[in-house]
Structure 1
Amino acid sequence: MHDEQLLRYSRQIMLPAFGIEAQQRLADARVLIVGAGGLGSPAALYLAAAGVGRIVIADDDRVDLSNLQRQILHGQADLGRPKVASAETRLQAINPDLRVTPLHTRLQGTALIEAVSAADLVIDASDNFDTRFAINAACVAARRPLVSGAAIRMEGQLAVFRADLGEGPCYRCLYREGEEAEQTCAENGILAPVVGVIGSLQALEAIKVLTGVGESLHGRLLIFDAARLEFRELRLRPDPACPTCQAGDAAPLDDQGRA
């Protein structure tokens, strides 16, 4: 690291558990973020600022006026732009050393598998169960750590799944297809800071997994109640009947990226 980088990251490097070694691990890391909206915005911003070397960010949407209340990667001048283009501009303005790869597409099938396999860690900042199931299946197949977040109304959830360790539950052990009704911010609303809290915690957990600093949320589900400002934690166990992570070796994926 050169002198300017040492100064930029000095407040992290000085942490006894962190140091230059952990900072270098971040610089060498490649993180895939699926979703450049409410969750992806704070996650990407903090990972960029913290010194992750490469961020691949995927989203097929464009910036809409209704996004600006909570999706802090984007501004008024970005209306109509692809979210990933807006994200690239903002992230590189924060950290010029960062390499950003914008993917203006909905990752699925072979493209999803390739993007996950090329990453050191995946952040699921998507907003629908089909995408979450597909990302989870790809992470299990490629043995990549997954940091999953969700938020609606004044509630949020966070979990870390470590397929790279070959143990513990996966996302589909927690939710089965068809068991959860799809809920969107457009239909149910969302308080802006709620996604900020969950997205920031996703960045924190990603940094911990990538550097080995601290204890990750692996095997636990964190539930955030913003109305009461309460956090609850649930222990997660592998589902012996899970068709994704308990089907022997990595379950084959179909053209939609599903196990």
Structure 2
Amino acid sequence: MLLERERERYARQILLFGDEGQERLKKAKVFIAGAGGLGCPIALYLAVAGVGEIRIADRDTVDRTNLNRQVLHRESDIGELKARSAEAKLRAANPDIRIKAFAATIDEANVRDLVGAADLIVDAMDNFPTRYLLNRQALRSGVPLLHGAVRGFDGQATTIIPGRTACLECIFPEAPPAEVFPVVGVTPGVIGTIQANEAIKYLLGREDLLTNRLLVWDGLATTLETYAVERRPDCPACGVGCDYEGTGEGIRPVP
């Protein structure tokens, strides 16, 4: 049941999708992997939209070099754990939601516990080994994965529904080389808000998602293009003969 102050806070959204839609957001749980350039805008917009529980994990501490793009963190947060810094800002932005922050390295041993009972997994990472780990957990649990990545003025995003769409390893069978990459702050802002938009649409039960399409943002040309992607039968993560072939039966519906 929405509180009166929640009805006031979300009045413009309720005009779009009614009390029922806002209740769906309030009941939802989302896991965000990363509290950096992508994780900050994703978490902020999901928090102010009224997503009931946000779980966010990041092992790093705030550094001055983060501040051009990681919009939840401030000069005064330098040296603070990113997870804790993000938690404080999100609680301040919306005290009516639950924030669970984890200062942890996401690995095979803890990924299941970190994701918990989340309805969505959001990839806001900066490296493909962890992205592949999140992809495998999404496939095992039947929970959708929202992928996003940025470099310089460029970014990309896609929505992965286990058993129904191409998974991350179908689209990117080989990881790009690890690097300290350049990035301007507006790029994760663009891609992060696209990921947050996808999360809200999914949680509301919308069908028009960014599935089997890779969205590519070119900030210098100011263009958005989408490219069709498809499942690969030989995919090591979801292809024929692997541990999870993706029937789609394990997908957990949003309450």
Are the equivalent residues in 1 in contact too, given 2:55–2:115 (CA < 8 A)? no
Are the equivalent residues in 1 in contact too, given 2:236–2:242 (CA < 8 A)? no
SS in 2 for 1:109: coil
Gaps of 5+ in 1: 253-259
Which residue of the other structure, out of 165, 169, 176, is the alignment partner of 2:166? 169
Are the equivalent residues in 2 in contact too, given 1:39–1:125 (CA < 8 A)? yes
Structure-2 residue corresponding to 1:257: none
Which amino acid is 2:61 matched to? R
Q: Distance in 1 between matches of 2:242 and 2:129?
A: 22
Q: CA deviation at 1:183?
A: 3.7
Are the equivalent residues in 1 in contact too, given 2:44–2:90 (CA < 8 A)? yes
Structure-2 residue corresponding to 1:181: 177
Task: Tell whether 2:2 aligns with 1:9.
Answer: no
Q: CA deviation at 1:250?
A: 4.4
Q: Distance in 2 between matches of 1:138 and 1:216?
A: 20
CA deviations on 1:157-196 (whole Å, 9 max, x unpaired) are: 0000011xx2111000011135x223433xxx11110110
How many residue pairs match? The answer is 244
Which residue of the other structure, out of 224, 233, 242, is the alignment partner of 1:240? 233
Are the equivalent residues in 2 in contact too, given 1:117–1:144 (CA < 8 A)? no
Are the equivalent residues in 2 in contact too, given 1:152–1:184 (CA < 8 A)? no
Structure-2 residue corresponding to 1:46: 45
CA deviations on 1:121-154 (whole Å, 9 max, x unpaired) are: 0100000010010000110111101110000011
Q: Distance in 2 between matches of 1:46 and 1:223?
A: 21
TM-score by length of 1: 0.91
Q: Distance in 2 between matches of 1:75 and 1:116?
A: 27
Cα–Cα, structure 1 residues 142 and 247, in superposed 2: closer, same or farther, change >3 Å? farther
Return 212-221 or 30-39, whichever deviates more. Answer: 212-221
Task: Tell whether 2:194 aligns with 1:201.
Answer: yes
Task: Tell whether 2:137 aligns with 1:138.
Answer: yes
Alignment of 1:224-239 (within 5 A): 224-239=217-232
Structure-2 residue corresponding to 1:155: 154
Which amino acid is 1:160 matched to? T
TM-score by length of 2: 0.92
CA deviations on 1:226-256 (whole Å, 9 max, x unpaired) are: 001001101110011001111457449xxxx
Structure-2 residue corresponding to 1:114: 113
Are the equivalent residues in 1 in contact too, given 2:119–2:143 (CA < 8 A)? yes
Structure-2 residue corresponding to 1:69: 68
Which residue of the other structure, out of 146, 161, 184, is the alignment partner of 1:191? 184
Q: Distance in 2 between matches of 1:73 and 1:66?
A: 14
Q: CA deviation at 1:117?
A: 4.7
Task: Tell whether 2:213 aligns with 1:217.
Answer: no
Q: CA RMSD in A?
A: 1.4
Structure-2 residue corresponding to 1:255: none
Structure-2 residue corresponding to 1:256: none
Moved over 6 A (4+): none
Q: CA deviation at 1:90?
A: 0.1
Q: Distance in 2 between matches of 1:208 and 1:225?
A: 24
Are the equivalent residues in 2 in contact too, given 1:149–1:156 (CA < 8 A)? yes
Q: Distance in 2 between matches of 1:13 and 1:248?
A: 45
Which amino acid is 2:22 matched to? Q
SS in 2 for 1:242: coil
Which amino acid is 1:89 matched to? A
SS in 1 for 2:55: strand
Q: Distance in 2 between matches of 1:140 and 1:115?
A: 15
